[in-house]
A = this chain, B = another copy of it.
Amino acid sequence: MPKNQAWTLASYPSGWVVEDNFKLIESPVPSPKDGEVLVKNLWLSLDPYMRGRMSKAQSYAKGVEIGDVITGETAGEVVESKHPGFKRGDKVITGQRMGWQLYGCAKGETLTAVDAERAPLSTYLGCLGMPGLTAWFGMKEIGAPKAGETVVVSAASGAVGSVVGQLAKAAGCRAVGIAGGKTKCDYVVKELGFDACVDYKAGNLQRDLKAACPKGIDVNFENVGGEIFDTILPMMNTFSRVIVCGLISGYNATTPYEMKNIRSILVNRIRMQGMIVFDWNQRYPEARGALAGMLQQGKLKYRETVAQGIESAPKAFIGLLKGENFGKQLIKLA
Protein backbone atom coordinates (compact mmCIF):
# COMPACT_ATOMS: atom_id res chain seq x y z
CA MET A 1 0.00 0.00 0.00
CA PRO A 2 1.67 3.25 -1.09
CA LYS A 3 2.09 6.12 1.34
CA ASN A 4 2.04 9.82 0.55
CA GLN A 5 5.01 12.00 1.41
CA ALA A 6 4.87 15.78 1.40
CA TRP A 7 7.24 18.64 2.16
CA THR A 8 5.68 21.20 4.46
CA LEU A 9 6.82 24.57 5.75
CA ALA A 10 8.48 24.14 9.15
CA SER A 11 9.52 27.77 9.58
CA TYR A 12 9.74 30.97 7.54
CA PRO A 13 13.22 31.59 6.16
CA SER A 14 14.92 34.76 7.23
CA GLY A 15 17.35 35.59 4.46
CA TRP A 16 18.58 32.46 2.72
CA VAL A 17 16.35 29.40 2.72
CA VAL A 18 17.82 26.50 4.71
CA GLU A 19 16.83 22.84 4.81
CA ASP A 20 15.44 23.26 8.33
CA ASN A 21 12.69 25.45 6.91
CA PHE A 22 11.14 22.26 5.49
CA LYS A 23 9.63 19.19 7.13
CA LEU A 24 8.80 15.93 5.34
CA ILE A 25 5.57 14.35 6.54
CA GLU A 26 3.98 11.02 5.73
CA SER A 27 0.26 10.40 5.38
CA PRO A 28 -2.14 7.98 3.69
CA VAL A 29 -2.78 8.51 0.00
CA PRO A 30 -5.99 10.58 -0.11
CA SER A 31 -9.22 9.62 -1.89
CA PRO A 32 -10.81 11.95 -4.41
CA LYS A 33 -14.20 13.50 -3.67
CA ASP A 34 -16.78 14.17 -6.34
CA GLY A 35 -15.29 16.39 -9.03
CA GLU A 36 -11.76 15.55 -7.89
CA VAL A 37 -8.95 13.54 -9.38
CA LEU A 38 -6.19 11.63 -7.55
CA VAL A 39 -2.84 12.28 -9.25
CA LYS A 40 0.36 10.32 -8.78
CA ASN A 41 3.03 12.98 -9.24
CA LEU A 42 5.93 11.89 -11.42
CA TRP A 43 7.78 15.20 -11.74
CA LEU A 44 7.91 18.21 -9.41
CA SER A 45 8.82 21.59 -10.82
CA LEU A 46 11.06 23.88 -8.77
CA ASP A 47 10.76 27.55 -9.59
CA PRO A 48 12.11 30.76 -8.02
CA TYR A 49 8.65 32.18 -7.36
CA MET A 50 8.22 29.60 -4.58
CA ARG A 51 10.58 31.64 -2.43
CA GLY A 52 8.00 34.43 -2.44
CA ARG A 53 5.34 32.09 -1.08
CA MET A 54 7.56 31.07 1.83
CA SER A 55 7.06 34.49 3.30
CA LYS A 56 4.57 36.51 5.24
CA ALA A 57 5.21 39.51 2.96
CA GLN A 58 2.30 40.61 0.79
CA SER A 59 2.58 39.36 -2.76
CA TYR A 60 0.33 38.54 -5.69
CA ALA A 61 -0.66 35.18 -4.18
CA LYS A 62 -1.36 33.94 -0.68
CA GLY A 63 1.71 32.68 1.10
CA VAL A 64 2.30 29.19 2.48
CA GLU A 65 1.56 28.90 6.18
CA ILE A 66 3.46 26.84 8.73
CA GLY A 67 2.48 23.18 8.28
CA ASP A 68 1.14 23.70 4.74
CA VAL A 69 2.52 21.70 1.83
CA ILE A 70 4.96 23.88 -0.16
CA THR A 71 3.39 25.33 -3.31
CA GLY A 72 4.37 23.69 -6.57
CA GLU A 73 3.23 22.32 -9.89
CA THR A 74 3.74 18.71 -10.87
CA ALA A 75 3.36 16.49 -13.91
CA GLY A 76 1.79 13.14 -13.21
CA GLU A 77 -0.67 10.42 -13.98
CA VAL A 78 -4.30 10.05 -13.00
CA VAL A 79 -4.79 7.17 -10.54
CA GLU A 80 -8.48 7.64 -9.84
CA SER A 81 -10.95 10.14 -11.25
CA LYS A 82 -14.26 11.43 -9.97
CA HIS A 83 -14.33 14.12 -12.65
CA PRO A 84 -15.83 13.41 -16.09
CA GLY A 85 -12.93 15.07 -17.93
CA PHE A 86 -10.23 12.64 -16.71
CA LYS A 87 -9.68 8.88 -16.55
CA ARG A 88 -7.09 6.61 -15.00
CA GLY A 89 -3.80 6.76 -16.88
CA ASP A 90 -4.25 10.29 -18.26
CA LYS A 91 -1.13 12.42 -18.12
CA VAL A 92 -1.73 15.82 -16.52
CA ILE A 93 -0.01 18.89 -15.17
CA THR A 94 -1.39 20.33 -11.98
CA GLY A 95 -1.95 23.73 -10.48
CA GLN A 96 0.43 25.14 -7.89
CA ARG A 97 -1.74 23.98 -5.03
CA MET A 98 -0.74 20.39 -5.72
CA GLY A 99 2.54 21.13 -3.99
CA TRP A 100 5.66 19.17 -3.14
CA GLN A 101 4.16 15.71 -2.64
CA LEU A 102 3.91 12.23 -4.15
CA TYR A 103 0.13 12.07 -4.40
CA GLY A 104 -2.60 14.62 -4.29
CA CYS A 105 -6.27 15.18 -5.04
CA ALA A 106 -7.22 18.17 -7.13
CA LYS A 107 -10.39 19.52 -8.67
CA GLY A 108 -10.57 18.53 -12.31
CA GLU A 109 -10.74 22.19 -13.39
CA THR A 110 -7.25 22.82 -11.96
CA LEU A 111 -5.65 20.08 -14.09
CA THR A 112 -4.51 20.26 -17.69
CA ALA A 113 -4.35 17.09 -19.79
CA VAL A 114 -1.11 16.93 -21.78
CA ASP A 115 0.04 14.82 -24.71
CA ALA A 116 3.11 12.93 -23.52
CA GLU A 117 3.53 11.43 -26.98
CA ARG A 118 4.06 14.83 -28.57
CA ALA A 119 6.74 15.88 -26.06
CA PRO A 120 8.29 14.34 -22.93
CA LEU A 121 6.07 14.76 -19.87
CA SER A 122 8.72 16.80 -18.02
CA THR A 123 8.76 19.48 -20.73
CA TYR A 124 5.23 20.45 -19.71
CA LEU A 125 6.83 21.85 -16.56
CA GLY A 126 9.63 23.57 -18.50
CA CYS A 127 9.69 24.94 -22.01
CA LEU A 128 6.06 23.93 -22.63
CA GLY A 129 5.00 24.76 -19.09
CA MET A 130 4.84 27.77 -16.85
CA PRO A 131 8.40 28.97 -17.64
CA GLY A 132 7.91 28.63 -21.39
CA LEU A 133 4.54 30.37 -21.22
CA THR A 134 6.11 33.14 -19.14
CA ALA A 135 8.72 33.71 -21.82
CA TRP A 136 6.07 33.59 -24.54
CA PHE A 137 3.60 36.10 -23.07
CA GLY A 138 6.33 38.40 -21.77
CA MET A 139 7.87 38.62 -25.21
CA LYS A 140 4.66 38.77 -27.22
CA GLU A 141 2.63 41.04 -24.97
CA ILE A 142 5.23 43.33 -23.40
CA GLY A 143 8.59 43.04 -25.14
CA ALA A 144 7.20 42.95 -28.69
CA PRO A 145 10.67 42.73 -30.27
CA LYS A 146 11.11 43.75 -33.88
CA ALA A 147 13.62 42.18 -36.25
CA GLY A 148 17.04 43.73 -35.84
CA GLU A 149 16.52 44.78 -32.24
CA THR A 150 18.68 43.63 -29.34
CA VAL A 151 17.05 41.52 -26.62
CA VAL A 152 18.87 40.94 -23.31
CA VAL A 153 17.76 38.28 -20.86
CA SER A 154 19.25 37.49 -17.46
CA ALA A 155 19.30 33.93 -16.06
CA ALA A 156 19.71 33.05 -19.72
CA SER A 157 20.38 29.35 -19.27
CA GLY A 158 17.37 28.94 -17.00
CA ALA A 159 13.93 27.64 -17.82
CA VAL A 160 12.50 31.05 -18.73
CA GLY A 161 15.61 32.74 -20.09
CA SER A 162 16.48 29.97 -22.51
CA VAL A 163 13.06 30.26 -24.16
CA VAL A 164 13.22 34.07 -24.22
CA GLY A 165 16.46 34.03 -26.20
CA GLN A 166 15.21 31.44 -28.67
CA LEU A 167 12.02 33.46 -29.21
CA ALA A 168 14.21 36.54 -29.77
CA LYS A 169 16.20 34.69 -32.42
CA ALA A 170 12.99 33.45 -34.05
CA ALA A 171 11.87 37.11 -34.23
CA GLY A 172 15.07 38.08 -36.05
CA CYS A 173 16.65 39.84 -33.06
CA ARG A 174 20.12 39.87 -31.59
CA ALA A 175 19.81 37.70 -28.45
CA VAL A 176 22.21 38.45 -25.61
CA GLY A 177 22.16 36.36 -22.45
CA ILE A 178 23.53 36.97 -18.98
CA ALA A 179 24.49 33.87 -17.01
CA GLY A 180 26.87 32.82 -14.25
CA GLY A 181 30.07 31.08 -15.38
CA LYS A 182 31.71 30.05 -18.62
CA THR A 183 29.96 26.67 -18.88
CA LYS A 184 26.50 28.21 -18.84
CA CYS A 185 27.53 31.01 -21.19
CA ASP A 186 29.01 28.53 -23.66
CA TYR A 187 25.80 26.51 -23.57
CA VAL A 188 23.67 29.63 -24.14
CA VAL A 189 25.63 30.57 -27.26
CA LYS A 190 26.59 27.18 -28.72
CA GLU A 191 23.54 25.11 -27.88
CA LEU A 192 20.72 27.62 -27.61
CA GLY A 193 21.99 29.82 -30.44
CA PHE A 194 22.14 33.20 -28.66
CA ASP A 195 24.46 35.72 -30.34
CA ALA A 196 26.37 36.40 -27.12
CA CYS A 197 26.30 35.63 -23.42
CA VAL A 198 27.89 37.71 -20.69
CA ASP A 199 29.27 35.99 -17.59
CA TYR A 200 28.20 38.20 -14.68
CA LYS A 201 30.62 36.38 -12.41
CA ALA A 202 33.59 37.53 -14.50
CA GLY A 203 33.50 40.91 -12.77
CA ASN A 204 33.13 43.22 -15.80
CA LEU A 205 29.39 43.16 -16.30
CA GLN A 206 29.01 46.72 -17.54
CA ARG A 207 31.93 46.58 -19.95
CA ASP A 208 31.10 43.11 -21.23
CA LEU A 209 27.42 43.90 -21.68
CA LYS A 210 28.23 47.08 -23.61
CA ALA A 211 30.51 45.08 -25.88
CA ALA A 212 27.80 42.47 -26.42
CA CYS A 213 25.17 45.13 -27.23
CA PRO A 214 26.86 47.54 -29.63
CA LYS A 215 23.51 49.04 -30.64
CA GLY A 216 22.18 49.30 -27.07
CA ILE A 217 19.27 47.28 -25.70
CA ASP A 218 15.71 47.37 -27.04
CA VAL A 219 14.13 44.67 -24.88
CA ASN A 220 15.27 43.57 -21.42
CA PHE A 221 13.62 40.46 -20.03
CA GLU A 222 14.48 40.82 -16.37
CA ASN A 223 14.64 37.68 -14.26
CA VAL A 224 17.30 38.64 -11.74
CA GLY A 225 16.98 42.27 -10.64
CA GLY A 226 19.45 44.01 -8.36
CA GLU A 227 22.83 45.06 -9.70
CA ILE A 228 22.33 43.31 -13.03
CA PHE A 229 19.09 45.20 -13.66
CA ASP A 230 20.68 48.47 -12.54
CA THR A 231 23.56 47.93 -14.95
CA ILE A 232 21.22 47.23 -17.86
CA LEU A 233 18.90 50.24 -17.36
CA PRO A 234 21.25 52.99 -18.59
CA MET A 235 22.01 50.94 -21.72
CA MET A 236 18.37 50.80 -22.77
CA ASN A 237 17.53 52.54 -26.05
CA THR A 238 14.83 55.14 -26.67
CA PHE A 239 11.37 53.52 -26.62
CA SER A 240 12.76 50.25 -25.27
CA ARG A 241 10.80 47.77 -23.17
CA VAL A 242 11.51 46.00 -19.88
CA ILE A 243 9.64 42.87 -18.85
CA VAL A 244 9.90 42.62 -15.06
CA CYS A 245 9.42 38.88 -14.67
CA GLY A 246 11.57 38.04 -11.69
CA LEU A 247 13.95 39.60 -9.19
CA ILE A 248 15.61 36.45 -7.90
CA SER A 249 18.72 38.27 -6.67
CA GLY A 250 16.56 39.90 -4.01
CA TYR A 251 14.41 36.98 -2.92
CA ASN A 252 16.73 36.03 -0.07
CA ALA A 253 17.84 39.53 0.80
CA THR A 254 16.75 41.02 4.10
CA THR A 255 17.00 44.56 2.69
CA PRO A 256 16.14 45.41 -0.91
CA TYR A 257 18.75 46.32 -3.50
CA GLU A 258 18.62 50.06 -4.13
CA MET A 259 18.26 50.99 -7.80
CA LYS A 260 20.33 53.98 -8.91
CA ASN A 261 19.48 54.30 -12.59
CA ILE A 262 15.74 54.97 -12.61
CA ARG A 263 16.37 58.21 -14.53
CA SER A 264 16.88 56.15 -17.68
CA ILE A 265 13.15 55.32 -17.67
CA LEU A 266 12.40 59.01 -18.20
CA VAL A 267 15.24 59.95 -20.51
CA ASN A 268 14.76 56.94 -22.77
CA ARG A 269 10.95 56.73 -22.50
CA ILE A 270 11.27 53.12 -21.39
CA ARG A 271 8.08 51.10 -20.99
CA MET A 272 8.51 48.76 -18.04
CA GLN A 273 5.91 46.25 -16.99
CA GLY A 274 5.68 43.63 -14.29
CA MET A 275 4.20 40.29 -15.29
CA ILE A 276 2.76 37.14 -13.79
CA VAL A 277 1.96 34.51 -16.37
CA PHE A 278 -1.38 33.61 -14.74
CA ASP A 279 -2.79 36.85 -16.07
CA TRP A 280 -2.91 35.17 -19.50
CA ASN A 281 -4.20 31.78 -18.34
CA GLN A 282 -7.09 31.85 -20.80
CA ARG A 283 -4.57 31.85 -23.61
CA TYR A 284 -2.27 29.04 -22.47
CA PRO A 285 -3.39 26.55 -25.15
CA GLU A 286 -2.49 28.93 -27.98
CA ALA A 287 0.98 29.58 -26.56
CA ARG A 288 1.66 25.98 -25.57
CA GLY A 289 0.70 24.84 -29.06
CA ALA A 290 3.10 27.29 -30.68
CA LEU A 291 5.95 26.30 -28.35
CA ALA A 292 5.29 22.60 -28.93
CA GLY A 293 5.49 23.25 -32.68
CA MET A 294 8.88 24.92 -32.24
CA LEU A 295 10.05 22.02 -30.09
CA GLN A 296 9.03 19.44 -32.69
CA GLN A 297 10.84 21.40 -35.39
CA GLY A 298 14.02 21.45 -33.32
CA LYS A 299 13.78 25.22 -32.85
CA LEU A 300 13.33 25.11 -29.10
CA LYS A 301 16.15 23.52 -27.15
CA TYR A 302 16.11 22.96 -23.43
CA ARG A 303 18.13 21.47 -20.65
CA GLU A 304 17.01 19.89 -17.40
CA THR A 305 18.68 19.39 -14.05
CA VAL A 306 16.99 16.42 -12.44
CA ALA A 307 17.30 15.52 -8.76
CA GLN A 308 16.08 12.07 -7.78
CA GLY A 309 13.36 11.45 -5.21
CA ILE A 310 11.22 13.71 -3.10
CA GLU A 311 13.86 13.80 -0.37
CA SER A 312 16.09 15.87 -2.65
CA ALA A 313 13.66 18.77 -3.12
CA PRO A 314 14.76 21.28 -0.41
CA LYS A 315 18.44 20.98 -1.30
CA ALA A 316 17.71 21.31 -5.02
CA PHE A 317 15.52 24.34 -4.35
CA ILE A 318 18.24 26.07 -2.35
CA GLY A 319 20.64 25.35 -5.21
CA LEU A 320 18.18 26.87 -7.67
CA LEU A 321 18.04 30.09 -5.65
CA LYS A 322 21.83 30.23 -5.75
CA GLY A 323 22.00 29.57 -9.49
CA GLU A 324 23.54 26.12 -9.10
CA ASN A 325 21.04 24.46 -11.44
CA PHE A 326 21.60 24.37 -15.18
CA GLY A 327 18.37 24.71 -17.16
CA LYS A 328 15.04 23.61 -15.75
CA GLN A 329 15.25 22.25 -12.20
CA LEU A 330 13.07 19.17 -11.70
CA ILE A 331 12.58 16.51 -9.06
CA LYS A 332 11.88 13.01 -10.41
CA LEU A 333 9.39 11.66 -7.93
CA ALA A 334 8.78 8.23 -9.47
Residues of A with Cβ closer than 8 Å to B?
Answer: 58-60, 225, 229, 238, 244-247, 250, 255-276, 279
A-B contact list, 16 entries, CB within 8 Å: A60-B267, A60-B268, A60-B269, A247-B263, A256-B263, A257-B262, A258-B258, A258-B260, A259-B259, A259-B262, A264-B274, A265-B273, A266-B276, A268-B274, A269-B275, A270-B274
- Which residue in B246, B258, B269 is a CB contact (below 8 Å) of A259? B258
Extra inter-chain contacts (12) besides given A60-B268, A271-B274, CB under 8 Å: A58-B267, A59-B267, A225-B262, A247-B263, A247-B266, A264-B274, A265-B274, A267-B274, A269-B274, A269-B276, A270-B272, A272-B273
Measured in the bound complex, the distance between the Cα atoms of B60 and A250 in whole Å is: 31
Q: How many copies does the complex hold?
A: 2
Q: Which residue of A257, A264, A267, A276 has the most chain B CB atoms within 10 A of its CB atom?
A: A267
- B274 and A246 contact, CB distance less than 8 A: no
CB closest chain-B residue, reference A58: B267
With A247-B263, A256-B263, A259-B262: A271-B271 Cβ-Cβ less than 8 Å: yes
- B273 and A269 contact, CB distance less than 8 A: yes
A225: chain B residues within 8 A (beta carbon)? 262-263
CB closest chain-B residue, reference A234: B58
CB closest chain-B residue, reference A272: B272
- Which residue in B60, B257, B262, B272 is a CB contact (below 8 Å) of A256? B262
In the assembled complex, how far is the CB of residue A7 from the closest CB belonging to chain B, in whole angstroms? 25
With A60-B238, A260-B258: A265-B276 Cβ-Cβ less than 8 Å: no
- B274 and A250 contact, CB distance less than 8 A: no
